[in-house]
Amino acid sequence: MPLLVQKFGGTSVATPDRIREVAEQVRLRRRSGDDLVLVVSAMGTETDEMLALARSVADRRSGREMDMLITAGERKATALVCMALIDHNVPAESLTGSQAGFITDETHENARILDIRPQRVLAALQGGRVPVVAGSQGVSTSNDVTFLGRGGSDTTAVALANVIEADACELYTDVSGVFTSDPRVVPTARRIGRLSYDEILEMTATGCPKPAMRSVEVARARGVRLHVRSAFTWEAGTWIGEEDPSMEQPLVSAVTHDISEAKITITGVPDRPGIAGALFRRLADLDVNVDMIVQNVSADGVTDISFTVPRRQLGISTQVTRDLGAEIGAGGVSEDTDIARVSLIGAGMKSNPGVAATMFEKLGERSINIEMISTSAIRISCVVRSEDVVQAVNVLHDAFGLAEAS
Amino acid sequence: MPLLVQKFGGTSVATPDRIREVAEQVRLRRRSGDDLVLVVSAMGTETDEMLALARSVADRRSGREMDMLITAGERKATALVCMALIDHNVPAESLTGSQAGFITDETHENARILDIRPQRVLAALQGGRVPVVAGSQGVSTSNDVTFLGRGGSDTTAVALANVIEADACELYTDVSGVFTSDPRVVPTARRIGRLSYDEILEMTATGCPKPAMRSVEVARARGVRLHVRSAFTWEAGTWIGEEDPSMEQPLVSAVTHDISEAKITITGVPDRPGIAGALFRRLADLDVNVDMIVQNVSADGVTDISFTVPRRQLGISTQVTRDLGAEIGAGGVSEDTDIARVSLIGAGMKSNPGVAATMFEKLGERSINIEMISTSAIRISCVVRSEDVVQAVNVLHDAFGLAEAS
């Protein structure tokens, strides 16, 4: 009998109606013969509401107390889902992170799982009850309540699926899977049937709903098959697993874009070792999430460095760059907020060097100027003007045949 | 250094502003040299909101899951109070019922405390931190989350005060203490400075804010001194403790009234043993909370029985009484919803038989008809017409000199 872990995100359990619908679907799924373990997030925007409450109560907010607060949201949702299940004649048992055996370190607000002791999960299953586990939480080695961070319910689900040897982990959300592009921008965007772990990890983009990065890394490390699907339509979604070496990989699986970044350029940087390291260390110490980095070829002993950062971190990033520039006698620092990133993602690129060339040609044909380029084995990203991004995404989606049924 | 347990009810922590005010008062109190342990209820109406949510999710609601749900409210409030304390430079540590060592039986929604192992509470105190304990909750002997029931935070506070040998237990609420009568009805009502456990236990009445009955019983059994006071004005309130035999007791401490009941009378009941027992057993089985019972002197082998029940339980109570009446061939059953109860409460009554006579005379002088009488050692209750109740309370409050400063 297949054993599945099903994780329901905040939108899937946002209202009493949604919770009852989840209960009904679980009832039907069990009747079809599957054994289920549920992992539940806090209802709708409850976590945000609790964060706002915390901000209005205290300026300095203890991490330990934030975790005690925030984890109450998942507990509530877990209890309500269980009540609905029992009301649908499905025996069920809610379990807090601690009761489900999640032992974590003491890093409050972003705890790491150290061990899982799923005895109560297994006992519930053996007793014919559906275990409903509160997502994103555990108990620390010093017996305090801990929170795994935003998106941590995905990690709970994947880690639990691994340790109880589930056949797959279903991640329910409000879209029906991962798409070849953002359907709001590319009308012909199509749901992808299958993706590799590496591909989904490259898909950090606007309009691309996807499992939390950390949970995919756990899934890849432990070989847990993921199924991203909708708790609104219940149709089959996108499977994520190992690359299948027996099948030919699609050249390009998706075209993604991101309009949330800005570009900083520092010119006239003396070309000597250690300067780039100093700059990005300072940014990292401020938790600035630097994405693309391009350094031009050195000429006359000086070089230019451009990099992108989240727009909300632009102010501090520019300041840090200017400070360093002054120290090392660089030429100048400039900001550019009118940029967008367009990326091609596809495991098939690894064995096909022509993809990048095609991408640049297609953009060039439309007079879309490429300002930065960055590549990995399975991703090519270009920075373009933000007013060009819709056209760029559509051109590439078309050029690589993504609208056709696979 | 005095050690105090302070319990803050839902209104005391209903908003971020209130929570910050509580934190500031705790800071001042500690500076004055007291050691404090806090017990916190859920914010404002949050428990009611969670009950409504549960009703909208499921018709049958598992007790185990209700407890998992409801206890999230106290945890949230506890974490927020701790954050505010830390923000006010008061080291603090939130503790769930389980972390505070409350071991309970498995009676969900109304669990009984079996044991308290307050090691973490004591460790926090020794470490200079204020322990902030989530009220009304514990962990059962089978490691499930349990709820002690509505008003259970008072019980948590009193039981904890006992086990850590606190000097007193302060119960903070939205009024400044227990009054000689309902100030909305009797303009000259005055806060009572001191009451005995027995007196407060008799004060089940409209407009009389008071600690949950169960917590007072625990306090009486364990000799925990209570101080009922306001978290809005912070002035000294009402102390509740043992009767002080060295002092003369006030004859009457308070005049209370209750307009929430209705009267049922069954006439022509065959006067043979077991009938009253059968009636009140059936009512008890339906959880009907019968208050006063009066049985008239038997005449001609038949008798009348009158009793009062909460108005909201009148329908079912009348039905049960009619059914039994039919079985035993009684005369008839009548309802009366226009009644009110007026009570005198005072430890001094025990040694002063004239109080009842004075009460009846004073009511008689105003032509207020007494329909039922019931007495205990320290309470005399009369049922009167509901339209007479305001006059009755004022007459008695005046007659026993309660408006004068004690």
Q: Which conformational region is residue B18 in: left (phi greater than 0), alpha (psi within -120 to 50 degrees), or beta?
A: alpha
In this prediction, residue B248 carries a pLDDT of 65
Return d(Cα A231, Cα A170) in angstroms, integer.
10
Return d(Cα B386, Cα B383) in angstroms, integer.
9
Q: How far are the Cα atoms of B234, B290, B316, B317 from residue B285, in angstroms, in the given order?
A: 43, 11, 12, 11
Q: Please classify residue A366 by burial: count the beta carbons closer than 10 Å to its beta carbon, then call 0-12 exposed, 13-18 middle and 19+ buried.
A: exposed
* Residues B79, A65: C-beta atoms closer than 8 Å: yes
In this prediction, residue B205 carries a pLDDT of 56
Return d(Cα A3, Cα A35) in angstroms, integer.
5
**A65 in contact with B, Cβ within 8 Å:** yes
Q: How far are the Cα atoms of B140, B170, B323 from residue B147, in angstroms, in the given order?
A: 10, 21, 36
- Give the pLDDT band (50/70/90) at residue B209: low
In this prediction, residue A229 carries a pLDDT of 94
pLDDT value at B75 more than 80: yes
| Whether A390 contacts A345, CB under 8 Å | no
Amino acid, single-letter form, for residue B296: N
Angle between helices B275-285 and B314-328 (to 10 degrees): 150
pLDDT value at B247 more than 70: no
Amino acid, single-letter form, for residue A156: T
**What is the arithmetic mean of pLDDT over B323-335?**
91
A79 to chain B, minimum CA–CA distance in Å?
A: 5
Contacts of B79 in chain A (CB under 8 A): 54, 65-69, 72
* Residues A66, B79: C-beta atoms closer than 8 Å: yes
> Which pair of tokens denotes residue B308?
């009062």
In this prediction, residue B136 carries a pLDDT of 97
> Which pair of tokens denotes residue B166?
């606190």
B64 to chain A, minimum CA–CA distance in Å?
A: 8
- pLDDT (tens digit per residue) in B218-233: 999 999 999 999 999 9
In this prediction, residue A247 carries a pLDDT of 65
**What is the arithmetic mean of pLDDT over B349-368?**
86
| Whether A83 contacts A38, CB under 8 Å | no
ipTM entry:
0.82
The DSSP code for A2 is -
Bridging pattern class, strands B92-95 and B130-134: parallel
Return d(Cα B113, Cα B160) in angstroms, integer.
11
- Reference B92, options B41, B40, B170, B149; nearest CA is B40
Those residues whose C-beta lies under 8 Å from the C-beta of residue A2, and which sit 6 or more positions away, are A33, A34, A35, A167, A168
Q: Is B353 helix (H, G, I), strand (E, B) or coil?
A: coil
If one compares A206 and B90, the residue with the highest pLDDT of the two is: B90
Q: How far is CA A17 from the centre of its chain?
A: 27
Return d(Cα A8, Cα A168) in angstroms, integer.
14
Which of A12, A51, A80 is the best mutation test for B, with the most CBs of B within 10 A?
A80
- Where helices occur in B248-333 by DSSP H, the ranges are 275-285, 314-328
Q: How far is CA B381 from the centre of its chain?
A: 18
- Reference A390, options A254, A257, A263, A253; nearest CA is A257
In this prediction, residue B213 carries a pLDDT of 83
Contacts of B19 in chain A (CB under 8 A): 57
* Residues A94, B68: C-beta atoms closer than 8 Å: yes
Q: How far is CA B103 from the centre of its chain?
A: 23
Return d(Cα B181, Cα B396) in angstroms, integer.
10
Contacts of B145 in chain A (CB under 8 A): 96
In this prediction, residue A387 carries a pLDDT of 95
Tell me if the domain spanning B3-174 has CATH number 3.40.50.2300.
no
If one compares B292 and B318, the residue with the highest pLDDT of the two is: B318
Q: Please classify residue A31 by burial: count the beta carbons closer than 10 Å to its beta carbon, then call 0-12 exposed, 13-18 middle and 19+ buried.
A: exposed
- Helix or strand holding residue B270 (H, E): strand B261-270
pLDDT value at B34 more than 70: yes
Those residues whose C-beta lies under 8 Å from the C-beta of residue B373, and which sit 6 or more positions away, are B294, B356, B380, B381, B382, B383
pLDDT below 70 — which residues of chain A?
204-209, 246-249, 297-298, 404-406
In this prediction, residue B404 carries a pLDDT of 66
Return d(Cα A272, Cα A295) in angstroms, integer.
13
- Reference A271, options A307, A296, A293; nearest CA is A296
**Counts for chain B of helices (H) and strands (E), in that order:** 11, 20
A389 to chain B, minimum CA–CA distance in Å?
A: 44
pLDDT value at B349 more than 90: no
Q: How far are the Cα atoms of B51, B203, B244, B363 from residue B248, in angstroms, in the given order?
A: 47, 21, 8, 26
- pLDDT (tens digit per residue) in B157-199: 999 999 999 999 999 998 899 999 988 899 999 999 999 998 8
> Which pair of tokens denotes residue A232?
């609104």
**What is the arithmetic mean of pLDDT over B294-309?**
82
Q: Is A314 helix (H, G, I), strand (E, B) or coil?
A: helix
Count of CB atoms situated within 10 Å of the CB of B370 = 16
Those residues whose C-beta lies under 8 Å from the C-beta of residue B331, and which sit 6 or more positions away, are B266, B267, B268, B269, B302, B325
The DSSP code for B282 is H
A262 to chain B, minimum CA–CA distance in Å?
A: 35
Return d(Cα A57, Cα B326) in angstroms, integer.
62
- Reference B176, options B187, B157, B190; nearest CA is B190
**B76 in contact with A, Cβ within 8 Å:** yes
* Residues B60, A19: C-beta atoms closer than 8 Å: no
Average per-residue pLDDT for chain B: 91
> Which pair of tokens denotes residue A142?
């010093």
| The B226-230 sheet, strands edge to edge | B92-95, B130-134, B35-40, B3-8, B168-173, B226-230, B238-241, B194-196
The DSSP code for A271 is -
Contacts of A82 in chain B (CB under 8 A): 62, 65, 68
Return d(Cα A317, Cα B52) in angstroms, integer.
48
| The B379-385 sheet, strands edge to edge | B254-258, B339-345, B379-385, B372-376
Q: pTM of the entire structure? A: 0.85
- pLDDT (tens digit per residue) in A358-379: 898 999 899 998 888 888 888 8
